[in-house]
Amino acid sequence: MPTGFRSSSINLGLEQPIAQTTSAQTILSALLGKVRPSNNKGSGYNRGHIAPSADHTRNAANNRATFLMSNMMPQMPKLNRPVWRNLRKSRCN
Q: Distance from first CA to last CA of the chain, Å, rounded?
A: 39
Candidates 18, 49, 72, 75; catalytic one: 49
Around Cβ 69, how many Cβ atoms within 10 Å?
13
d(CA 93, CA 83): 16
Q: Would residue 49 show up in a list of annotated catalytic residues for this protein?
A: yes
Instruction: Using alpha carbons, select from 54, 34, 37 the residue that is nearest to residue 45.
Output: 37
Known catalytic residues? 49
